Amino acid sequence: MNAATDSKTFYGRDFLTLLDYTPNEIDTLIKSALTIKNNQAEYADVLKGQSLGMIFENASTRTRVSFEVGMTQLGGHALFLSPRDMQIGRGEPVKDTANVLSRYVNAIMIRTNSHELVEELAEHASVPVINALTDGYHPCQAMADLLTIHEHKGSLKGLKLAYVGDGNNVAHSLLAAGAKVGMDVSVATPVGYEVNQEIFEKAKTAAEDTGATLIQTNDPKEALQNADVIYTDVWASMGYEQEQDERLKQFSQFQVNSELASLAKADYIFLHCLPAHRGEEVSADVIDGPHSAVYDQAENRLHAQKAILVSLLTNP
């Protein structure tokens, strides 16, 4: 179901990309996540009797566990749905799947490749659809990232986040997140692995309202200058494993190590959406060092997604 435009409520909306949400709405979600995280007992029955259908086209650890546990902790129920076990995996139209699932569950979460498929699902579903990862965006991860940065830095506006690596869905959502909260984002990728230009332009347009500066570069040293947050991801995401050897060559100068990290501020924090390949995109001394907040970040997937679920499924 297409997102409503009422900025006063989230109820019944979709969660497909942060570009669909206003700065105030994202701030509200972060505050909600903090409240739920620090007062979990008070939310134990808030989604009692409600069900979340979880469609997974790709393998998952953090996404599946955090959504399933999150629904349980909120008093609801989550169903794992593999396309291999569903008719959609045998060619059933997305429209039919959307309409049928809408009769059974209160929301649909989907982790798939095609962002267009998620948009089609949302168009035909009469319940909220949550994008848990597509080739284009990873908004649930970005919400957990914002929550983590807020906890460690106390604020978001005016900070600088440097992303080093592949211009993938994580990079896209970080650009969107920074644009919406007023956080500068510098993305450094090898030549030929830049972020999607259309998404970059959309994020830059959104940044005009908050004053955030968004930069693309092929120089990781430029990106990391005076950064408050350093972020990286695997060099070959799911679906690109066959390019692993070539990417190891192309990305060899983009490893986040102590030498590169020394260009950031002395109190920087390091983030990685995991899984991580130590010795490739990040050195062990950085990801396992004192600046690393990757496990806080992973935990915050749970709390950020609980805030999203409560916001979309609780009628004010």
Mean of per-residue pLDDT scores for the chain: 95
Q: Report the C-alpha gap between 291 and 271 in whole angstroms.
A: 9
Q: HSE of 2 in the Cβ direction (CA atoms, 13 Å)? A: 2
Above 90 in pLDDT, residue 44?
yes
Q: For a pLDDT cut of 90, what percent of the chain falls above it? A: 90
Q: Report the C-alpha gap between 191 and 194 in whole angstroms.
A: 7
Q: Which residues are catalytic?
A: 111, 138, 141, 233, 273, 301
Does 274 belong to an annotated binding site? yes
pLDDT-derived band of residue 242, with 50, 70 and 90 as boundaries? confident
Does 138 belong to an annotated binding site? yes
Peptide bond into 220 cis (omega under 30): no
3-state DSSP assignment of residue 111? strand
CB 189 within 8 A of CB 213: no
Q: For each of the domains in the chain, give its residue range(s) and CATH number, in order of start.
A: 18-137+301-313 (3.40.50.1370), 141-297 (3.40.50.1370)
The pLDDT, as a whole number, for residue 4 is 38
Above 60 in pLDDT, residue 95?
yes
Lowest-pLDDT range, 48-52, 123-127, 132-136, 242-246?
242-246
Does 58 belong to an annotated binding site? no
Q: Report the C-alpha gap between 132 and 56 in whole angstroms.
A: 9
Q: Report the C-alpha gap between 69 and 78 in whole angstroms.
A: 8
Does 111 belong to an annotated binding site? yes
3-state DSSP assignment of residue 42? helix
pLDDT-derived band of residue 270, with 50, 70 and 90 as boundaries? very high
The pLDDT, as a whole number, for residue 303 is 98
The pLDDT, as a whole number, for residue 248 is 95
Confidence (pTM): 0.95
pLDDT-derived band of residue 83, with 50, 70 and 90 as boundaries? confident
Structural tokens at position 106 = 């209160």
The pLDDT, as a whole number, for residue 8 is 54
Structural tokens at position 314 = 């609780």
Beta bridge partners of 130: 15, 109
Structural tokens at position 15 = 């969660």
Q: Say which DSSP state 2 is in.
A: P
Does 60 belong to an annotated binding site? yes
